[in-house]
Amino acid sequence: MKHVLVTGAAGFIGRAVVPLLAAEGWRVSAISRRPPAAGQPAIDWHAVDLFDTTATADLVGRLRPSHLLHLAWNTEHGRFWQAPDNLRWMSASLSLLLAFAEAGGTRAVVAGTCAEYDWRHGFCQEDITPCMPHSLYGEAKLATGRLAARLLADSGTQLAWARVFFPYGPGEAGGRLIPSVIRAMAAGEAVRCSHGRQYRDFLHVQDVATAFAQLLRAPDQGVFNIASGTPVSLRQIVLTLARLAGWAGTPDFGAIAVPDDDPPLLVGDIRRLRALGWQPTLALDDGLADTLTHWRHHHPSRSL
Amino acid sequence: MKHVLVTGAAGFIGRAVVPLLAAEGWRVSAISRRPPAAGQPAIDWHAVDLFDTTATADLVGRLRPSHLLHLAWNTEHGRFWQAPDNLRWMSASLSLLLAFAEAGGTRAVVAGTCAEYDWRHGFCQEDITPCMPHSLYGEAKLATGRLAARLLADSGTQLAWARVFFPYGPGEAGGRLIPSVIRAMAAGEAVRCSHGRQYRDFLHVQDVATAFAQLLRAPDQGVFNIASGTPVSLRQIVLTLARLAGWAGTPDFGAIAVPDDDPPLLVGDIRRLRALGWQPTLALDDGLADTLTHWRHHHPSRSL
């Protein structure tokens, strides 16, 4: 039986991917500093701090998983871009990957980020677009991916590095664009926006999960964008949410200034991932409707 | 009074821009090998072959226009990409620009093409995206633009080089995407398409015309994309046409194979043009509706 060790299993993406892997027949183990009180079914929790590299290596040596899905990182909204602990996450991630390879692991799939690319280019393709991060987070992820590829090159352990674009959906941090628009509408507050002409690449977390599951199964190595490949303007996101929510207000486009270096378009090419047989399944309207439904269920006192 | 000499005035873009310039108070002169029988009002036609550089220089020396709008080139659908006469157009264009500068011209605006960019990058920005044409047409336009900038650098004649993306609208050549879809629907034929997931940048010819008019008025030099900045999938184009036409059929997406190097996204950044005060005015639905209306008016016997 294939056995995957998942880090970040209690996080936004982890919560979507773990049940999927369990349903696909994987034995799933998870590392967490604080395993959730109500654990997910079919998952083995192990309380380890990834920054404790000795304890982590011991655990990996005991579990001897065939696969590793490494999602854990600092993702605290608004803080993670320049947080100094990005460097600790880099070290911890490389230690984890080495321990996994030494324990005979066959395949590791690791979450990178679209922030590794030079965003000035806008349309991000794995083999063509230059990498030039504009944040410590992007630099640390990029360095981790490059060092990991080199460290694992002759180890017999495969590596797929997944550059994740803009995941959204149930459970996304409340301060991010989509939840914050939903909250403002629900609270009867003004919805203040930038001009909204920026095109971004949003992918529902359920499709992010199937992409990671596909990358675990595939034999292919290298860098893969996890994205929708579909440019959507922020204006369209906000207007679609307003329509789906039956919100009668008018979003205040232009109320928030846009930085000079704000990229007008940021979209991932998904030909590499499509070539593995994956494709996104949730259209934007359906994904946003699902997000709204989840929000209403969890915040029934609000007015939406 | 400002006096603009327009080449290609009888072409697809020229027919849209000339009335606009006349309405803005320009004196408009036009060069054409064969001036149209029913000339446009307020336009001075001059029958000259641009390949006859002596006759062209003589005319320019007599007219002494303050401005030049050079649109003429080989644009024969399906042929222009690799046509050998792209090289003759390059020479003729450079000769025209030199004659214009020698006759005291103050500002030239010349139609370049999005095919000057390296299309693998997809999101095309004047100052960032590398140029690497994949066609003789693109190479000849790129060389013309670069040589022109150098030749005019110390001449006192300003140069704006406009890279035009995908113009559409009334009068577009019948073999191109939008007219051919309209014709197939009207003829009751199957609408055979590729997968349709390619994103392109379509701009209604009326907005192309206002962009050229803006570039004639502005003092800024260099390269400017003329584009919508809005990624639209070919699938959306076809489905929107079907809806607007009330066509009851089902487009056959996937019937036509896509070449391996077909770019998944090809969009122009329009921040430089926006900074001049220009913006596109026709939403895609309105632009396509206008195109359909024009088509019905000119082909009343067809069924749409």
Tell me if B171 sits within 8 A of B12, measured CB to CB.
Answer: yes
Interface test with B, best of A233, A265, A279 (most B CBs within 10 A): A265
What is the per-residue pLDDT across B227-237, written as a single tens digit (0 to 9) for each? 999 999 999 99
Interchain proximity B269–A122, CB inside 8 Å: yes
- 3-class DSSP string for B169-188: CCCCCCCCHHHHHHHHHHCC
Q: What average pLDDT is seen over chain A?
A: 94
Instruction: Report H helices in chain B.
Output: 12-23, 53-63, 86-102, 136-152, 177-186, 205-217, 234-245, 271-274, 284-298
Residue A123 three-state SS: strand
Interchain proximity A197–B229, CB inside 8 Å: yes
- CA–CA separation, A120 and A264 (whole Å): 9
- pLDDT of residue B150 exceeding 80, the answer is yes
- Confidence band (pLDDT; 50, 70, 90) for B77? confident
- CA–CA separation, A40 and A36 (whole Å): 8
Query: What angle (nearest 5°) sits at the alpha carbon of residue B179, between those of residues B173 and B183?
Result: 125
Quote the pLDDT of residue B162. Answer: 98
Quote the pLDDT of residue B266. Answer: 98
Residue A108 three-state SS: strand
Measured between CA atoms, the residue of chain B closest to residue A229 is B264
Tell me if B185 sits within 8 A of B304, measured CB to CB.
Answer: yes
Instruction: Sketch the domain layout of chain A as residue ranges.
Output: 3-167+203-226, 173-201+230-266+282-298
Interface test with A, best of B128, B228, B265, B274 (most A CBs within 10 A): B265
The residue-averaged pLDDT of B114-136 equals 96
- pLDDT of residue B147 exceeding 90, the answer is yes
Measured between CA atoms, the residue of chain B closest to residue A236 is B230
Q: Of the candidates A122, A233, A271, which has its C-beta nearest B123's C-beta? A: A122
Q: Which CATH architecture has domain B170-201+230-264+271-298?
A: Alpha-Beta Complex (3.90)
Q: What average pLDDT is seen over chain B?
A: 94
What's the alpha-carbon Rg for chain B, to the nearest Å?
19
- CA–CA separation, A295 and A168 (whole Å): 12
Beta strands, E only, chain A: 3-7, 27-32, 44-47, 67-70, 107-113, 123-124, 158-164, 166-168, 199-200, 202-204, 222-226, 232-233, 267-268
- CA–CA separation, A19 and A1 (whole Å): 17
- CA–CA separation, A185 and A27 (whole Å): 42
Task: Measure CA of the first residue to CA of the last residue in chain B; give whole Å.
Answer: 45
Quote the pLDDT of residue A221. Answer: 97
Quote the pLDDT of residue B235. Answer: 97
- Confidence band (pLDDT; 50, 70, 90) for A41? low
Q: Of the candidates B128, B197, B271, which has its C-beta nearest A121's C-beta? A: B128
Interchain proximity B267–A231, CB inside 8 Å: yes
Of residues A33, A131, A134, A141, the one with CA closest to residue A86: A141
- CA–CA separation, A249 and A272 (whole Å): 41
% chain A with pLDDT above 70: 96
What is the per-residue pLDDT across A129-147, written as a single tens digit (0 to 9) for each? 999 999 999 999 999 999 9
Q: Which tokens sit at B265? A: 């996204």
The residue type at A197:
R
The residue-averaged pLDDT of A80-107 equals 96
The residue-averaged pLDDT of B91-108 equals 98
Residues of A in contact with B197 (CB under 8 A): 229
Of residues B104, B95, B106, the one with CA closest to residue B31: B95
Query: What angle (nearest 5°) sits at the alpha carbon of residue A101, between those of residues A95 and A107?
Result: 115
Of residues B262, B263, B267, B265, the one with CA closest to residue B225: B267
Binding-face residues of B in 66-125 toward A, CB within 8 A: 120-123, 125
Residue B295 three-state SS: helix
- CA–CA separation, A191 and B260 (whole Å): 43
Of residues A266, A295, A282, A140, the one with CA closest to residue A204: A282
ipTM of the complex: 0.84
The residue-averaged pLDDT of A66-95 equals 94
Of residues A225, A196, A149, the one with CA closest to residue B122: A225
Return the CATH number of the domain spanning residue range A3-167+203-226. 3.40.50.720
DSSP bridge partners of A6:
A30, A69
The residue-averaged pLDDT of B140-158 equals 95
Quote the pLDDT of residue B39. Answer: 58
What is the per-residue pLDDT across B241-297, written as a single tens digit (0 to 9) for each? 999 999 999 999 999 999 999 999 999 999 999 999 999 999 999 999 999 999 988
Residues of B in contact with A128 (CB under 8 A): 120-121
- pLDDT of residue A301 exceeding 70, the answer is no
Q: Which tokens sit at A22? A: 């369990």
Return the CATH number of the domain spanning residue range A173-201+230-266+282-298. 3.90.25.10
- pLDDT of residue A1 exceeding 80, the answer is no
- pLDDT of residue B304 exceeding 70, the answer is no
- pLDDT of residue B40 exceeding 70, the answer is no
Return the CATH number of the domain spanning residue range B3-167+202-226. 3.40.50.720
- pLDDT of residue A304 exceeding 70, the answer is no
Quote the pLDDT of residue B296. Answer: 87
Quote the pLDDT of residue B33. Answer: 79
What is the per-residue pLDDT across A185-240, written as a single tens digit (0 to 9) for each? 999 899 999 999 999 999 999 999 999 999 999 999 999 999 999 999 999 999 99
